[in-house]
Amino acid sequence: MRRLVVISGKPKIFAASLAVIFLLTSIHVAATARIASLKREQEQLERAAITQPSAVSQDSLPKANQAASPAPANAAFADPKSTVTLSAEDVPPGKPAASTVASGTSPSPRRQIIISIPDRQLAVIDNGHVLKTYPVAVGARGTPSPDGDFVIINHAKDPTYRGGDTEIPPGKDNPLGSRWMGLSLKGYGIHGTNVQSSVGKAISHGCFRMRKQDVEELYTLVQVGDTVMVRRERDAMIAKVFATPPSMPAAITLAAGASSSEIQVATVAATATVETIEQ
């Protein structure tokens, strides 16, 4: 009798097991369907976000850029009463400087140095205006300064002088003084001097010497990549640039196409050992 009771209970257990399996399967199928539905909704939202146009108007960008544009660097130096306009004949044509700025970016403003060997003076030009003029020492008769168009390829504070087997560390005995601005002609540059009285004379070995306070100020006004135009003859352009006394810098408007040199600019050096023709 007990055996019959046990046997008769087995179909009920089997049926209950099937019911549980069916329920779990239904739950799994429903969960899978819900997950798939959520994924589709997320993909649709992502596609809508990608294709949605920007809310910023492109017409407003130039206005914002104009509003944020800084004032010209030479605003404090320009004097409209002393403006001298140079014709195209006064300025020799030149090649554009080699650009090291990545495509799509605006190049930083460049300044130009003009050196007159007969006047023994150096002028800093910014956007066609003379910012400042300085006296310089130029090459002696036997070691003349080079003329032509160059580029500042490096500069250094407190450089170490090297000439042949001689090396002089920074200090009062260094013939390069406290600043060096190297030209794209090897061995030549604009620098200070340990003989301040030599400035204004034709006495150097070809480089352009400046007084300590002048060369340190010039160092802050120019940068690597700026062009340097050296002239041996006092032509019409040089006469106009250096016509005004150094104490009253004139605003000189240069014609388009001012000369520059196609030279690859080297990396800026904060300190450097400079090998030069100066002694």
Point out the residues that are catalytic.
191, 207
Instruction: Name 102's Cβ contacts closer than 8 Å, sequence gap at least 6.
Output: none
- What is the DSSP pairing of strand 138-139 with strand 202-204? parallel
List strands edge to edge, sheet with 227-231: 129-135, 121-126, 112-116, 227-231, 148-157, 179-183, 189-191, 208-209
The CA distance from 163 to 219, in Å, is 23
DSSP state of 71: P
Q: How far apart are CA 127 and CA 88, in angstroms?
A: 16
Helix or strand run (H / E) with residue 23: helix 2-51
